[in-house]
Amino acid sequence: MIPRYSRPEMTAIWTPEARYAIWFEIEAHATEKLAELGVVPQSAADALWAWWATRPAIDVAAIDAIEAVTKHDVIAFLTWVAEQVGDEARFMHQGMTSSDVLDTTLAVQLARAADLLLADLDRLLEVIERRAREHKLTPTIGRSHGIHAEPVTFGLKLAQAYAEFDRCKTRLIAARADIATCAISGAVGTFANVDPRVEEHVAAALGLAVEPVSTQVIPRDRHAMFFATLGVIAGSIERVATEVRHLQRTEVLEAEEYFSPGQKGSSAMPHKRNPVLTENLTGLARMVRGYVTPALENVALWHERDISHSSVERYIGPDATITLDFALARLTGVIDKLLVYPERMQKNLDRMGGLVHSQRVLLALTQAGVSREDAYRLVQRNAMRVWESDGALSLQELLKADGEVTAALSPAEIDDKFDLGYHLKHVDTIFARVFGAA
């Protein structure tokens, strides 16, 4: 994580202070339940919570200094807390292992991060829907393989993005539920030295589910799915960013990123207005997807646990969530202020001499009794003349001058096949599917 691509609320989840606060809550809630079960004195739990009620500053430097000697982060933390609380702190961590604290903490952090990402998605969806409705009937050319295909609307392009990010939201909700599990089960997951009711108590206190069966750690398939979901969201961000980048190309220029007063596009060329935000989003998406493979490789730990996953998660936990949070917010801003040029869209629609209507003519010829092979040949030979003229010729007029075509279709029937509205007649139906009935 670098500050340039981070936002404060998400970053705050991953600070040492935030992590140690969760560690303390886990230890204190566990001690609280152990006291209720008669395993440790009630005074131990009371002492922990009494100290915490004073809102103590967590001395990260002091904990780091202890860890420099112990070479163990959880022991360093417990030692520091004992120095603050006193003798009663000796009852902390009864029957627990370090991973009980570390894994449960990571679950809390990822669940909180998911909540922020879900809020990001909600804001993005709101903006996409508003712009989609604004351009619901703004005609533009649809492209396949980068080549003009048939008419669509710019609103439909945005509706596609809305549906995709709505699916992302559904997946993230499921991934959040899957990752939000607590394990307080001891050294190999057997609860040999800690009652399962302690786990249930800590889980309830932290808003987590209990891990049904753990080893020393929570199974990493949960984490793999979580980060894979973030990777898919990043892919969806890049898809929209790539669309904007293509539409902003000088020879297309159907839409472009907002260019603010005083903004400069190039140190050498004063005329430049580059799609820098969506290019940046493309790079950020690559980074988020890059964290998916290490998460997948963490699944295959040795036996009841090894520590190979730990260094990976110290990187990817904060980096993936902070980067994706920033990217979602940036994309929301891009869509919100996106400059859309309907006149240029219409100009591009018209520039290839009506080729976008070729399929309608093909179908009309087959319905008039011409074989599909002959119909395709007739339309294509005229379409290629238009193509080779770079749109200077008109497909509509060439077809009306082609005796083989007019033997099957009258000039009026040919003209009818060049109606733009025909291609847009089901826009309302599609919008109702995506956004619900108006």
What mean pLDDT comes out for the span 28-39?
Answer: 98
What share of the chain has pLDDT > 70, as a percent?
100
pLDDT in tens, 256-295: 999 889 888 888 888 989 999 999 999 999 999 999 999 9
What CATH number does domain 97-350+424-437 carry, 1.20.200.10, 3.60.15.10, 3.40.50.300, 2.60.15.10? 1.20.200.10
Asked if the model's pLDDT at residue 438 lies above 80, the reply is no
Which positions are annotated as active-site residues? 145, 266
| Confidence (pLDDT) at 267 | 86
Question: Where are the domains positioned within the chain?
Answer: 1-94, 97-350+424-437, 355-417
Output the average pLDDT for the chain: 97
CATH topology assigned to domain 355-417: Ribonucleotide Reductase Protein R1; domain 1 (1.10.40)
- Confidence (pLDDT) at 1: 72
pLDDT score recorded for residue 264: 86
Query: What integer pLDDT is reported at residue 142 of this predicted model?
Result: 97
The correct CATH number of 1-94 out of 3.20.20.450, 1.10.3720.10, 1.20.210.10, 1.10.275.10 is 1.10.275.10
Does 97-350+424-437 match 355-417 in CATH topology?
A: no
Report percent pLDDT > 90 for the chain: 96
73-105 per-position pLDDT tens digit = 999 999 999 999 999 999 999 999 999 999 999
**Exposed/middle/buried for residue 195 (C-beta within 10 Å: 0-12, 13-18, 19+):** middle
d(CA 269, CA 223): 46
At 222, the pLDDT band (50, 70, 90 cuts) reads very high
254: confidence class by pLDDT, cuts 50, 70, 90: very high
pTM of the model: 0.95
Question: 297-336: per-residue pLDDT in tens?
Answer: 999 999 999 999 999 999 999 999 999 999 999 999 999 9
Residue 206 contacts residue 26 (beta carbons within 8 Å): yes
Question: Phi first, then psi: what are they for 142, rounded to 5°?
Answer: -85, 145
Averaged pLDDT for residues 42-59: 96
Which pLDDT band, with edges at 50, 70 and 90, does 171 fall under? very high
Mean pLDDT over residues 173-199, rounded?
Answer: 97
Q: Which tokens belong to 387?
A: 């193509």
Quote the CA–CA distance of 319 and 36 in Å, as a whole number.
Answer: 39
pLDDT given for residue 352 in this prediction: 95
